[in-house]
Amino acid sequence: MATALLARRLLTPCQAIDEAALLLEEGTISDVGRRSDVLIPPHTRVFDFGEAILAPGLIDIHIHGGAGHDIMEASDENLAPIERLMAKHGVSSYYPTTVTAPVDVTLRSLDALGQAVGRGLDRVYAGDGTRARPLGIHLEGPFLSHAKRGVHPAALLQPASRELFDRMWQAAAGHVRLMTIAPEINGAIDLIGEASKRGVCVSIGHSDAQLRQARAGIKAGARHATHTFNAMRALDHRYPGLLGAVLTESGVTADIIVDGIHVDPVVVDLFVRARGLDASVLITDAISATGMPNGKYTLGGLEVEVRSGRCESNGRLAGSVLTLDRAVRNTVKFANISLQNAIRMATVNPARTLGIENRKGTLSVGADADITVFTPAGEVLQTIIGGIIN
């Protein structure tokens, strides 16, 4: 049976449609436009959301956990609460993100995460619209700079190696879709080229690279940057370093944590102006403490203490408790942009970065029926995943 959604406004998100109608059939979008232009067949289920805004489901490409659970645990029992928490905050799709750990631990996690991605791609989640769906794995570590490792354990970092990457690739059943790497470490340029050939979006981050080293990584195939400004060589007016490339190179997209803790609001504004509305991506970098009270939690094998929204391990920032809908609202405020433009940064922009913009991050004919229903102020009213309205 077809389903029609009606609302005061719809964001595709690049286009705004007033007095909108969205027609869904078998988990995909079959028509979209003004109510007067969309033919709603007889016996269609109709849901009228009144003054609300329909937008694509949000996509989080960097998340380590939530609801008291860590992504590295990777079992369905542990992933389900994380996915339900994300869905409550407007996220329909995500990329579970690893953290540097012993190789055998990482391989076990990648095996379980690869199976989870496979279940999602096989539509095993069909019938359950309460869980965000994993689309691929983000490998953060172990190919990171010692100088800018953040809380990633120094003893567990590895030189960039095709052999180790291939072991991880095989463990994940080929579902690695995003990899963060420092372009200046030994073997990085070769590995960037190899991963890119396999369809991985290579992201430069956790890096102390100079400008020439960053540009070499981009030339080799890197095309994204991980949590811009954090775990990077600082921007210097004479020695611009990695940030000089990230903020100016055409064809490079970049993500940022907009929680008001990782990056000052003024710098968020600067980032959006420099990188532009089409190349800016919002992430959470959320850990197991997200949605939980203050206390001690884990990030991989690390203990993290959370107080007043700040996550620290041994005095260093260790992820966040940010949700993606709040990142959208914060970006509206910090960068003084419209809700529509902030939503772009959490939908179509990450979809384009990962090459899935034909089916995710958009409300267009043929795309998956993943929809977030917002209030005009950007609060989430409902998340519809795979066309399932619970």
> Residue for token digits 């994204």?
224
What are the residues whose beta carbons fall under 8 Å from the beta carbon of 291, sequence distance 6 or more? 66, 67, 68, 85, 321, 323
Among 81, 60, 61, 59, CA closest to 70: 81
d(CA 293, CA 50): 34
Question: 205: number of CA atoms within 13 Å, CB side?
Answer: 28
- The span from the CA of 63 to the CA of 65, in Å, is 6
Q: Each residue of 300-331: b (16+ CB within 10 Å) or e?
A: bebebbbeeeebebeeebbbbbbbbbbbbbbb
285 included as an active-site residue: yes
CA atoms within 13 A on the CB side of 142: 22
CB 307 within 8 A of CB 297: no
From the list 285, 325, 368, 370, the catalytic residue is 285
Residues annotated as part of the active site: 285
